[in-house]
Amino acid sequence: MSLGWEQLVEAAPDGIVVADGAGLVVAFNLAASRLTGLAATGALGRPLVEVLPLEDGRGRAWWGCVDPYAGLAIRTGHPEIELSLVTPARPTATALLVTASYLRAGGPRTPVTSVIVALRGTAGRERLERDRAELVATVAHELRSPLTSVKGFTSTLLAKWEFFTDEQRRLMLETVEADADRVTRLITELLDVARIDSGRLELHISLVDLPAVLRRHVERLVAGGEPEERFAVRVEPGLPETWADSDKLEQIFANLLENALRHGDGQVAIVLEPSAVGTAVIVHDEGLGVPPEAAARVFTKFWRGGRRGGTGLGLYIAKGMVELHEGTIALASGPGGGAQFRIDLPPGTPPG
């Protein structure tokens, strides 16, 4: 069943206000009422400039400046701008993001027959600005330490090379390399976040041996200095074939295991078992776990659960990559305490 334009306007998530050729309001949806504090019954039939007495940043009446009905004849509207609204229902100025479109039924340079105004609150933009500010602060903080180290060691080596033994030089260069790897990883995480947020993260599907991918990553951690006895890997029989992006799965495992090592204690148990949707991957540590009040935030950007650093992006990236595989990831308390992350991956589809 098709909807009429009145029903579509009423169902729109943004505030929608429509005025006719005489400047009188003919549509005023529920979202507009919520944003302005004015009921539709008090808006319909009244002049647009009275219903929405908008002011710009200098306190000037915005409609007087843009003058949609008698202004520039080729103008088709105005891009989004932040304006203030003061009404009897909202005596304190309300900040709104306003977009306007002008319809000219007779074509260009003919009189305006309708003005359509879209209204949005500023909360979403403020959240975006806070996220950006937090991103800048996080990047600055995470880059400062390794870059300071790199600068310090390279300057010292260049200035006093002959005063150090070969072993001392090697140790300093190894530190520089480790810090460079840390910077590279941060940049990779930021690129992954940007691709997830924009929907540009792509999968390269192939037949994946999940136990092999997992064991390979555990072996890499042991080679990097983690005690072998800290990991307990169990693979249950009957795992289905999995068609997925091997590199992305390895990154998911890396983020989950790093999280367990950084924030957990004791042994890290990893289980692969058949599940109702395909394959379940369960990672369980023996730490303090995640407080119930923080459980809803663990997969958000910049969440840091505890005292041991990190960028706060790993679990957000893991969730994005799991969902790109049409899987799910969830957090629960482990049987003996600690945090337990469970991933359910569908078998996937061969490419082509």
197-217 average pLDDT score: 90
| 249 vs 71 pLDDT, higher one | 249
For residues 230 and 268, is the Cβ–Cβ distance under 8 A? yes
The whole-model pTM stands at 0.63
Q: Which of 66-75, 193-202, 285-294, 335-344 has the lowest mean pLDDT?
A: 285-294
Do the first three CATH levels of 5-121 and 206-345 match, i.e. the same topology? no
For residue 320, the model assigns a pLDDT of 92
For residue 1, the model assigns a pLDDT of 42
The distance from CA 107 to its chain's CA centroid, rounded to whole angstroms, is 42
Q: Where are the domains of the chain?
A: 5-121, 126-198, 206-345
CATH ID of 126-198, from 1.10.1200.10, 1.10.240.10, 3.40.50.300, 1.10.287.130: 1.10.287.130
- Please give the mean pLDDT across all residues of the chain: 86
270-277 average pLDDT score: 93
47-63 average pLDDT score: 90
Render 163-223 in DSSP notation, one character per residue: GS-HHHHHHHHHHHHHHHHHHHHHHHHHHHHHHHHHT------EEE-HHHHHHHHHHHHHH
For residue 3, the model assigns a pLDDT of 52
In percent, the amount of the chain with pLDDT more than 70 equals 95
For residue 236, the model assigns a pLDDT of 94
Q: Which of 23-27, 78-82, 164-168, 185-189 has the lowest mean pLDDT?
A: 185-189
249 pLDDT higher than 50: yes
Integer Cα distance of 61 and 22 in angstroms: 19
User: What confidence category does residue 328 fall into, taking pLDDT thresholds of 50, 70 and 90?
Assistant: very high
Count CB atoms within 10 A of the CB of residue 38. Answer: 21
User: What confidence category does residue 305 fall into, taking pLDDT thresholds of 50, 70 and 90?
Assistant: low
Q: Where is 323: in which H helix or E strand? A: helix 314-324
Q: Where is 28: in which H helix or E strand? A: strand 25-28
179 pLDDT higher than 50: yes
Integer Cα distance of 232 and 284 in angstroms: 10
91 pLDDT higher than 50: yes
Q: What is the pLDDT of residues 106-127, one digit of tens each?
A: 888 899 999 999 999 887 777 7
| 76 vs 93 pLDDT, higher one | 76
CATH architecture of 206-345: 2-Layer Sandwich (3.30)
- The fold of 5-121 is Beta-Lactamase (3.30.450)
206 pLDDT higher than 70: yes
Strand residues in 245-327 grouped as ranges (E): 268-274, 279-284
| 303 vs 282 pLDDT, higher one | 282
Q: What is the pLDDT of residues 277-299, one digit of tens each?
A: 999 999 998 877 777 777 778 88
311-324 average pLDDT score: 88
88-105 average pLDDT score: 84
Q: What is the pLDDT of residues 133-178, one digit of tens each?
A: 777 777 777 788 888 888 998 999 999 999 889 999 999 998 899 8
For residue 187, the model assigns a pLDDT of 85
